[in-house]
Structure 1
Amino acid sequence: MTQETITGVSELVQEALHVYRDDPAATRALEGYARRLAEPLRIAVAGMVKAGKSTLLNAIIGEEIAPTDTGESTKIITWYRYGLSPRITMYPVHGEPRALPVKRVDGRLVFVLGSLGPEDVDRLVVDWPSRNLRDVTLIDTPGIASLSEKVSALSTGFLTPADTPSQADAVIYLMRHMHAADLRFLESFKDTEAGRSGTVNALAVLSRADEIGAGRIDSLLSAGDIAERYRRDHSLRKLALGVVPVAGLLAQSARSLRQSDFESLQLLAGMDRPARERMLLSADRFLRASVPEGLDQEARASLLARFGLFGIRLGVVLIRSGFTEPTPLAHELARRSGLDPLLDMVNRQFQARADTLKARTALVGVEALLRSSPRDGSEQLAAALERIQVNAHEFSELRLLATLRTTGVALNHDLADEAERLVGGWGTAPYLRLGLQPEAGTDEISAEARRCLQRWRMVSESPLTDRSAADVCRVVMRSCEGVLAECAALQLNR
């Protein structure tokens, strides 16, 4: 997003603060939007109970700090953000926020709430010195469709408020299968103020993907086929930018591989193959086995809890294939878990347009305020807001992307797919927009952008192209022109 647009949105919020300076509720909301423009992107991790939300969050952070059991702390909305030193702050429903002791058991945080129950806590904020939190704030939410209606309503109300922007700029939604409740939530998230304004800002994760193939070594391949089928499903395609299979438990443990884990896997890799395969037929067999020598009951239980049978099988295969050092093994396990494709998609779809998503949230909030509480001076604010929305090409791209994935456009299938790619549906990097390889040079990118621009100019000028399709062409052409301008700037700076 251009600095001019970011500055314009920031100035609009400040002008709105002046107009609504005598309205405490409006002032609090607007001050919140101003802070969000300066803060990292907020990404919520959501899904039904036991979908693996906290496990995946730990994998993204790179440390096992979030509780993953079904205790009281998993019923509280918990924010994880970057801080120079560990700190936990509790914000009760009633009363002032207060610091909680930073207590860890087996590496994971334990939230000591004292006499308060989960229903008495609005949110917990964990500041943590993890480099993976420098550019993003992750929000762990209680399970959707929980047996407790209050717990379920807490997540739904937080992520899909009726008249204000969601507290999250984007959401990673975990599902074990494509359940009706999953689609209902994603529909609700899309129907928030930001969604109605033309934004698709959700990614779907086929979580616990290793369980789809009953823990077989090829489980992720089977999960990948299912994820691709879901991705093409029209009911989900209009709600999420993509579907990625991830073995969350393996991803979490790979990112925090211990020396003891590696040594245990080495012992298993040294066994006779038939004996090892018989032992790994089930969790009970593995825990009861007396071989290999040196792998005691406690080590077996720890390995099973951290990796599952799928992770153990995969780790053994990789060690026997040449990954004989802990660090390369950890990297390969993380890659095989599906975490790397997910992080890549988060970077391409969310982080690359972070300023746009945050600005979109702020504009939607101001627009909702002007609609619900008009007053003297709000007409000028509305006019300024409309100018920003019309002139900022990034918002036009978001609106077109949402249209392409929902109602569709009056173009043939191939052109519609190309339009989605060119406006950033696969990611905002120039090579992704143009369908080129990552190593494509500036000259190659410029040449392809010119070809695309010429092709879309011909489509727009065709007498067979109706008015709505011509509007699509104008947005796509401006995206091509943006790539050319970016290449020209790079060539000047050589």
Structure 2
Amino acid sequence: MSHDAPTLDEAVRRLLQEAWHLSGEDGHAAAQLDRLYGRLQEPLHIAVVGPRRSGKSTVVNGLIGDQVAPLPLGDGHDVVTWYTDGAQPHVIAWTADGAARELATTRTTRGLRLDPRTTRSSGITDLKVAWPARSLRHLTLVDTPGADPADDGHRAASEPAVAEADAILYASPEIRATDLHLLHNAQHGAVATATPVNTVIVLTHADQVGGGRIDALLTARQLARRHQRDPAVTATCSGVVAYGGLVALAGRTLSDADFTAVAAIAAAPRDAQDACLMSADRFAGEDCPLPVDADVRRRLLHRFGIHGVRLATTLARTGCATRTELAAELVRRSGLAELREVVTGCFVERRTVLKARTALAGLDRLADRMPGQDGVHLRARIEQLLATAHDFRELRLLAAMRSGQVAFTAEAGAEAQRLLGGNGTDAAVRLGADHELSGGELWDLTADALRRWQQHAEDPRLGLPERRAAAAVVRSCEGMLVGLGR
């Protein structure tokens, strides 16, 4: 591997410059190229999409670490909302004619709220929310209006944001055939076909599985793992993660008053607890015999959900003796850590290749409108880059392994996935090694992996797809050796 070979980012920038020269005096094309080039400088754009009431806002809130979504307008409808990092919270509204203005907001116990008098019938199409959050330093979250597959109006409102997103989090309480069909249809165009779209399905409402039993989150995790072994699911996404949004947010924002109320419920006689926690209606009812006011119980129910109240009460009764302990255990059980790990491993650590993919998709659309041989030439250059860039080859191979098109033994398959960056692109993660190892130790481990996969690539007992896949793993190992140096 040559030290002088351009990186993927450099190759894409060169192709944008080439397209600029081909566009000539076309002002519209020049504006599109300016926007594509600008996107390369911006944080990763992750669109959060899904049906209405699918829990998209709990995904946004969990990743941000605060209750800021949703932001309905004065007439009650939602618009595309962009969450970015900012020193101070503020909201900018955009209208269809490109005008922008800052909106007054109020912070409530239910999150950030807009003044309905300033947004009703205002023609607002997009909101941009600046919020001080460490998690937003490397990404922008795009919360899209919830829609049913047949709802063309809402789909039209969110399609541009989804089409131009670098990655997608698809939120849904369950994986249905309509969800898979929608995700499959999103993978159209030469770039999407050559570089499988990076989508992660988030099983929201995981705390409601089985009627919200105490083991609901555990059951939801098992369900997510089963989905990840389903070829119909793995063909459309990079992973499936179960997430209890209310439990996660309850843990992140647990107050002393909340803990006091939960502890009082946990100290009540078990028969009273069991009777009142059978349903949300019983728990919130005026005749509930628990030693906590009805208003406090309804507040807990709104913030925790009935499963969250059951879980928090059980945890408080069986060992979480302080607010800090209870908050930490709620967050741990919610699946928030797994969700963040998936977003980091699948998206943030691959932001260079994902942003390059977005730029190439934009160039592909531009090539369709270029006259004569200019469009043909640009499309050929795009296809050449897609075919030769190893970053894209890794994505294609990971997708092929997930869908069963390439099949190694369980041990070899797990190692191949790691070395290809399926668990993260850091060298130590690819090698399954301790982050404390020195560069020399990582180099030795990489060299061992390289020799092992060179043998796989030449093994006549393996099928042709597996030998080709092994050769790609060899290429990844060679890239790591160059990066580690010696």
Q: Same fold (TM over 0.5)?
A: yes
1:91 Cα deviation (Å)?
1.8
Letter in 2 for 1:66: A
Determine if contact 2:190/2:364 at 8 Å carries over to the other structure. no
Distance across 1 between alignment mates of 2:431 and 2:406: 20
The structural deviation recorded for 1:344 is: 0.8
Structure 2: unaligned runs, 5 residues or longer: none
Deviates more, 1:89-98 or 1:382-391: 382-391
1:72-105 residue CA offsets vs partner (Å, 9 max, x unmatched): 5553111111122222222222352222222344
Matching residue's letter, 1:345? V
Q: What residue identity is the alignment partner of 1:91? A: W
Whether the 8 Å contact between 1:55 and 1:68 is mirrored in structure 2 is no
Equivalent residue letter for 1:262: F
Of residues 472, 475, 478, the one that matches 1:478 is: 475
**For 1:176-191, what aligned pairs fall within 5 Å after superposition?**
176-191=173-188
Per-residue Cα deviation, 1:124-172 (whole angstroms, up to 9, x for no partner): 111122222111100111123167431134334542xxxxxx2211111
Q: Is the Cα–Cα contact under 8 Å of residues 67 and 73 in structure 1 kept in the other structure?
A: no
Q: Tell me the equivalent position of 2:40.
A: 37
Aligned with residue 281 of structure 2, among 275, 279, 284: 284
Q: Measured at CA, do residues 364 and 461 of structure 1 come closer, stay the same or move farther in structure 2, by a change above 3 Å? A: same
1:426 to partner: Cα distance: 2.7
Tell me which residue corresponds to 1:329: 326
Q: CA deviation at 1:187?
A: 0.7
Structure 1 residue aligned with 2:224: 227
Give 1:250's aligned residue: 247
Q: Distance in 1 between matches of 2:477 and 2:296?
A: 56
2:394 and 2:420 in contact (8 A); partners too: yes
Structure 1 counterpart of 2:80, from 77, 81, 106: 77
Q: 1:8 aligns with which of 7, 11, 17?
A: 11
> CA 1:201 to 1:468, structure 2 compared with 1: closer, same or farther past 3 Å?
same
Q: What secondary structure is seen at the aligned counterpart in 1 of 2:147?
A: coil
Number of the residue aligned with 1:152: 155
Q: CA deviation at 1:68?
A: 7.3
Secondary structure of the residue aligned to 1:257 is coil
Contact 1:56 1:252 (C-alpha < 8 Å) held by counterparts = no
CA distance in structure 2 between the aligned counterparts of 1:119 and 1:226, rounded to whole angstroms: 43
SS of structure 1 residue aligned to 2:46: strand
Deviation at 1:263, TM superposition (A): 1.9
Report whether the alignment pairs 1:400 with 2:397: yes
Q: Does 1:305 align with 2:293?
A: no
Report the count of equivalent residues.
481
| Structure 1 residues 43-82: aligned runs within 5 Å | 43-67=46-70, 72=75, 75-82=78-85
Structure 2 CA distance for aligned equivalents of residues 65 and 315 of structure 1: 23
Cα distance in 1 between the residues matched to 2:236 and 2:449: 28
Deviates more, 1:210-219 or 1:16-25: 16-25
Question: Would the alpha carbon gap of residues 83 and 70 (structure 1) be closer, same or farther in structure 2, given more than 3 Å must change?
Answer: closer
101-110 vs 281-290, greater mean Cα deviation: 101-110
Per-residue CA deviations over 1:252-273 (Å, capped at 9, x if unaligned) read 2222222321221122222223
1: distance between equivalents of 2:300 and 2:415?
46
Matched, 1:124 2:121: no
Deviations 1:245-304 (A, max 9, x none): 1111111222222232122112222222332222211112212245444x2121111100
Cα-to-partner distance string for 1:164-187 (whole Å, 9 max, x where unaligned)? xx2211111112122122111211
- CA offsets per residue over residues 17-64 of structure 1, 9 Å max, x none? 344252232222212211211111111111111111012211211111
Contact 2:73/2:120 (<8 A) preserved: no
**Compared with structure 1, are the counterparts of its residues 25 and 255 closer, same or farther at alpha carbon in structure 2 (3 Å cutoff)?**
farther
CA offsets 1:384-420 (integer angstroms, 9 cap, x no match) = 6566545532122122223334471476776555433
Q: What secondary structure is seen at the aligned counterpart in 1 of 2:210?
A: coil
1:444 CA displacement: 6.0
In structure 2, the partner of 1:197 is 194
Cross-structure match for 2:344: 347
CA RMSD of aligned residues (A): 3.1
SS in 2 for 1:178: coil
> What CA distance in whole angstroms lies between the structure 2 residues aligned with 1:350 and 1:156?
20
The one-letter code of the counterpart of 1:300 is: R
Partner of residue 102, structure 1: 105
**Counterpart Cα distance in 2 of 1:137 and 1:13:** 23
Q: Evaluate the alpha carbon distance shift between residue 122 and residue 414 of structure 1 in structure 2; reply closer, same or farther with a 3 A threshold.
A: same
TM-score (norm 2): 0.88
Task: Tell me, yes or no, if the aligned pair for 1:421 and 1:432 is still in contact at 8 Å.
Answer: yes
Structure 2 equivalent of residue 270 of structure 1: 267
Any idea what the Cα deviations from partners look like across 1:322-341, whole Å, max 9, x if unmatched? 43333332222111111111
| More divergent stretch after superposition (367-376 vs 176-185) | 367-376
Letter in 1 for 2:182: F
Q: What residue in structure 2 maps to residue 163 of structure 1? A: none
SS of corresponding position for 1:89: strand
Q: In the alignment, residue 248 of structure 1 is paired with which amino acid?
A: G
Please state whether the residue corresponding to 2:321 is helix, strand or coil.
coil
Answering whether residue 90 of structure 2 is matched by residue 87 of structure 1, we say: yes
Deviation at 1:432, TM superposition (A): 3.7
Distance 1:230 1:390, change over 3 A: closer
**Counterpart mapping for 1:200-215 below 5 A:** 200-215=197-212
* SS state at 1:75 partner: coil
Q: 1:172 to 1:12 in 2, by over 3 A?
A: same
Amino acid at match of 1:172: L
Per the normalisation by structure 1, the TM-score is 0.87
> Among 131, 135, 140, which residue is 1:137 paired with?
140
Gaps of 5+ in 1: 160-165
* Equivalent-residue separation in structure 1 for 2:410 and 2:359 (angstroms): 34
Q: Which amino acid aligns with 1:187?
A: H
Q: Cα distance, 1:233 vs. partner?
A: 0.9
Contact 2:74–2:120 (8 Å) recurs in 1: no
1:22 corresponds to which residue? 25
